[in-house]
């Protein structure tokens, strides 16, 4: 039997950013919101029905909003230079290494958030 989803279940504040902003913040976001992301993915794998994971999805969105708010308050200039580089360099990370290093350092020093390492 399908899960019953009410319109109010889908009401959530949205994260209104561009793809360059999402890509620029992705590695740190992965670290900052790791628990929420894992809970959402575990729910999706377990239930195979996204309607059963609305609360976990909302938690990911709220974490993302908190994450980007922290960046704006502490590393806005460094992050803006980095994602702007990505925007103008066709979202090619290797072309924006200088601005990325400055942004990474700011995130570590001011927010104690390291980039998520990929295996």
Task: Report domain extents, the chain.
Answer: 19-111
9 pLDDT exceeds 70? Answer: no
For range 3-18, the mean pLDDT: 74
Q: What is the DSSP string of 40-96?
A: HHHHHHHHS-GGGGHHHHHHHHHHHHHHHHHHHHHSHHHHHHHHHHHHHTTT-GGGG
Q: What is the pLDDT of residues 78-119, one digit of tens each?
A: 999 999 999 999 989 999 999 999 999 999 999 999 887 654
Q: What is the pLDDT of residues 12-53, one digit of tens each?
A: 777 889 999 999 999 999 999 999 999 999 999 999 988 899
5, 84 Cβ separation under 8 angstroms: no
């Amino acid at each position: 039997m399908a899960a019953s989803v009410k319109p109010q279940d889908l009401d959530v504040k949205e994260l209104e950013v561009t793809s360059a902003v999402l890509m620029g913040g992705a590695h740190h976001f992965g670290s900052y919101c790791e628990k929420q992301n894992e809970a959402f993915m575990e729910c999706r794998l377990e239930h195979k029905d996204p309607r059963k994971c609305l609360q976990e999805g909302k938690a990911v969105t709220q974490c993302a909003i908190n994450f980007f708010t922290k960046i704006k308050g502490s590393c806005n200039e460094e992050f803006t230079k980095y994602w702007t580089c990505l925007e103008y360099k066709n979202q090619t990370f290797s072309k924006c290494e200088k601005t990325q290093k400055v942004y990474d350092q700011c995130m570590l020093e001011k927010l104690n958030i390291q980039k998520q390492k990929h295996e």
